[in-house]
Amino acid sequence: MNKVQDTMEVAGMFKVPRMLTLVLSLSLFGATGAMASSVWGEFEGYSKVKTVINDVEKQFTDSEVPAFLVKGSAVLPVRALSESLQALVRWDNNTKTVSVYKPNVHMFVAEKVNDDYSIKSPFGRVPKGKKIDFAVFAQVDSMKTPFYSFKISIETPSGEQAVAPHEKVVNGQKENFWYPWPFSVSFDEAGDYVIKFSIKLDEDGDYTVVSQKVIVSE
């Protein structure tokens, strides 16, 4: 029985709209990779592989490259894997190089914040129906690539924006920083209110969530 490889390597490229097409190769155990077909179907003559990340199955549309087997190795799209793990992907077409970045982003929330943003009352649960003025504190380090902007947003349990997101343009290198921002939210629904810290690498790119924090309304 083969051992799981400790490294991940670029394995191939297919033309698929709206997503990076580079893939990561992860070896599987023994004879599993030798199967000629899969219960999950076929892709370009290769057996598809079911992908589960943090106990959640990753779904692929018909226009996306799914996970599949090549010579006993599972091949996964870099973009799909990185977004599931809340990492950033940068593609250099000139050098045909894909770079994955995973900054350390820590967030917490607190009420009764002084003008100097000193912290008095951190919290993680609120009574349903209560409106609270609080600040979100984000500490970021190990951001190893320049980026255009970041955004802090708060979603209700039903997936709507609880308040308008806050965005800040950086447009350069900022490897380590600390950032607080005030919000006023009425917790009208029971369930998880999700605070998301997202980063946009380029001005015309999309935001990628790199950290989440939950406030429970009950």
Span 106-159, pLDDT tens digits: 999 998 666 666 677 889 999 999 999 999 999 999 999 999 999 999 999 999
Q: Are residues 211 and 128 in the same domain?
A: yes
Domain-embedded: residue 1? no
Indicate the length of the chain as a whole number. 218
Q: Are residues 134 and 50 in the same domain?
A: no
pTM of the full predicted structure?
0.75
What residues make up the domain containing 36? Answer: 9-101
Residue 40 has pLDDT above 90, yes or no: no
Write down the residue that tokens 């995973």 correspond to. Answer: 102
Torsions phi, psi for 34 (to 5 deg)? -90, -5
* Two structure tokens written together for 88: 């950033």
Q: Are residues 72 and 127 in the same domain?
A: no
Give the count of domains, the chain.
2
